[in-house]
């Protein structure tokens, strides 16, 4: 187990988790924030853009975790990566869906 394998596990799990909300909203046919929107991450993207973004996240996440999460350290890193991403996504999308500017707006204010 190396530091690289731990980082790879955390990043892969975070990307896989990020694929979920974009894919779900796309399948529902609803607009959802993505990096392709204006402003990025805040404006609404059409379902097709979210299909693409979900696929990119799922592909990259799968590639990073492709060899498997074998050691306890890699499992913990994957869990923490997914958990951390879940908190970030909850803050970002929660604020945007309430009409805010997401984490970027919080940075500008703080």
Alpha helices in 68-101 (DSSP H): 72-97
Model pTM? 0.88
The confidence score (pLDDT) of residue 69 equals 87
The confidence score (pLDDT) of residue 1 equals 73
The domain in which residue 92 lies consists of: 3-109
Question: CB 49: neighbour CB atoms within 10 A?
Answer: 18
**How many structural domains are present in the chain?**
1
The confidence score (pLDDT) of residue 110 equals 52
For residues 110, 87, 92, 97, the Cα torsion angle rounded to the nearest 10 degrees is -130
Per-position pLDDT tens, the chain of length 110: 789 999 999 999 999 999 999 999 999 999 999 999 999 999 999 999 999 999 999 999 999 998 788 899 999 999 999 999 999 999 999 999 999 999 877 655 55
Q: Which long-range contacts (CB under 8 A, 24 or more apart) does 24-33 make?
A: 25/50, 26/50, 26/51, 26/54, 32/93, 33/92, 33/93, 33/96, 33/102
């Amino acid at each position: 187990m190396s530091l690289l394998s731990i980082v790879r596990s955390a990043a892969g799990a975070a990307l896989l988790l990020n694929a979920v909300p974009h894919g779900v909203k796309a399948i529902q046919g609803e607009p959802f924030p993505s990096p392709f929107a204006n402003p990025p991450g805040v404006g609404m993207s059409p379902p097709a853009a979210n299909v693409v973004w979900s696929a990119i996240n799922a592909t990259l996440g799968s590639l990073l975790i492709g060899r498997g999460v074998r050691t306890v350290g890699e499992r913990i890193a994957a869990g923490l990566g997914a958990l951390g991403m879940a908190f970030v996504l909850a803050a970002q999308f929660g604020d945007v869906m309430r009409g805010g500017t997401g984490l970027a707006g919080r940075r500008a204010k703080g």
